[in-house]
Chains A and B, each alone.
Chain A
Amino acid sequence: MAKEKAIIRSDMTRFQWTIMEMKKHKVAYVMVAPYFILFTLFTVVPVLLSLVLSFTSFDLLNWPKFIFLDNYIRLFLDDDVFITAIKNTLKFAVVTGPGSYLLSMLFAWFINELRPKVRSIMTLLFYAPSISGNVYLIWTLFFSSDEYGIVNAWGMKLGLLSEPVLWFQDKKYIFVLCCCVALWTSLGTSFLTFIAGFQCVDFSLYEAGAVDGVKNRWQELYYITMPYMRPQMMLGAILAITGAFGFGGVITNLVGFPSPDYCAHTIMHHLDDYGGQRFEMGYASAIATLLFLMMIGCNLLINRILRKIGT
């Protein structure tokens, strides 16, 4: 193919050649059109639109008014709740992002040691919570605030608690409980990707490794398996990071909105508050743009780091 290109190019410019290729493959553009028109409309345009609107004051009724950086200035200097939201988002992301990534990796690895039938069943058990919608609300029954909650009832019976604890309303427990629930539902797509990745490793590599002196399973994992499944690990990282920054719906359903003293108030909640309730669209767009930059930035950074594995 490369040779062919060179021959064609000798008698025409790069531009002419591109146009010719485009004409030749007209049908391809027709095939990608439906997807990319919708994709542009619902993903590309919104990102650009929120960037533009973040420099304006806009209430959906009047035409947006350009106010330059005022929204950002207000966010950082005049909105204490937003600072809390950033802190909380980072706190949740730091725990649930790497947490879900490591859990997925570790258990995919363990499960890979099992026989195929058992492996399928275990995969199902670990994956099920993440696809079962709001089944995580069952945790509110475990940690129900009255004495009919299992944890309260047994805690009191065994003398560990003197009175029922308002688990999901008490600042001391909200963070830990929300992280637990989030981790419980987090063995999702990246987990499946890892399961698949472990299964693809060429077995002869392990034999060769054993001959070369790989002594235990940890060395095998680090020197053979991980470099081999780097593509899966990179995809898994992207999914874990995106999930970790975007998790807020779980908190709203467990704790309610707003959370006591804003102790579980994340950027997503702030966005919902201004965009969905107060209709300060310009301000909300500034929040969305910052969240967007955080997600992309973090992803690119981690991506860089993972590229270095095994090189």
Chain B
Amino acid sequence: MFENLKNKIKVAYRKHQTNKVQFKRSVTRSAGGDVGIYIMLAIVAFVMVLPMVYAIVQSLKPLDEIFVFPPRFFVINPTFDNFRDLFRTMADSWVPFSRYVFNTVLISVAGTAGNVLLSSYAAYAISKIRFPGRKGLFKIVTYALMFNSTVTGISNFIIMSALGWVDTYLAVIVPAFCTPFGLYLMKQFMETNVQDAVLESARLEGASENKILWKIAMPMVKPAWATLILFAFKDLWNTGANLYIYSEQLKTMNYAISQLVTAGIARSGVSAAATVIMMLVPITVFIISQNNVIQTMSSAGMKD
């Protein structure tokens, strides 16, 4: 968007034979301010990254370097021993680590898929079909953005017991299908990015709403899918200890790792290795989807 405008404006300038005019907001931008901003950004970026770099460095340290005093920040002889030990010790434990991995992957993938699917259907109907009650439904969802799931945790436990879902995957996966933020984002994006005229002509040709959603609307909102996938996935991937899950073999990777971290310094290399594996996945998803996410969020504002 930014690039486009820049180009357009450049072209416009050239037409007026003033192509020397550079498009920079030089009137409102002092050089001193620019430098100040760069320095500040550099410092804060350093603080943001430091702990993450430290996690990676720590995961590569051999045992003798972990016990060096005073502790060194950087690693001298990097090794992958910690990663090997992680899988070895965890394989010997009562519940093998692979089971935690499986649980986390299952919850994340199933929950994300359901979230995108149900949100898309509901968002399409609310934003593109003029049925009575659509505004009220959306309003309720907007209110639901204003509190988080800690509030509903206790009552949800009662509902889960009534459904017989306590201590099953369903208790974690199914509630993830209906996050308010998923519907909210998808609806806002569809409203601004799917043209009614196109849908109307498809309706005149007799296409069903379901077909219009999949053949016309969905291809137009790919950035919103990418965004929903990122948000739903990172939340589910980071699911930790859960009120509704007791059995060790249903618990998640995040839970297993928090147990490891509290186990003390001897394991700090191993737990850093586990943390690195955990964090690389959502970060990768974000890197892939970044441009789409920014595009989606630009339509995500609260329009009264």
Contacts and interface: CB of A to CB of B under 8 A. Distances in A.
Given A38-B178, A43-B144, A275 B154 contact: yes
B143 A31 contact: no
Interface string B23-48: 00101111001100100110011011
A275 B157 contact: yes
Interface string B259-302: 00100010010011001001100110011001101111110111
B58 A138 contact: yes
Contacts of B177: 34-35, 38
Interface in A236-290: 238-239, 241-243, 245-246, 248-249, 253, 268, 271, 275-276, 281, 284-285, 288
B183 interface: yes
B52 A138 contact: yes
B159 A45 contact: yes
A169 interface: no
Interface stretch (A77-85, A119-127, A171-179): A119-127
Contact of A127 (B47, B121, B180, B286): B286
A25 interface: yes
B282 A132 contact: yes
Interface in B200-252: 208-210, 213, 231, 234, 237-238, 240, 243
Given A35-B122, A148-B265, A46 B152 contact: yes
A69 interface: no
Contacts of A95: none
Interface stretch (B69-77, B78-86, B90-98): B69-77
Interface of B: 1-3, 5-6, 9, 25, 27-30, 33-34, 37, 40-41, 44-45, 47-49, 51-52, 54-55, 58, 67, 69-71, 73, 118-119, 121-122, 124-126, 129-134, 137, 140-141, 143-159, 161, 174-175, 177-178, 180-181, 183, 208-210, 213, 231, 234, 237-238, 240, 243, 254, 257-258, 261, 265, 268, 271-272, 275, 278-279, 282-283, 286-287, 290-291, 293-298, 300-304
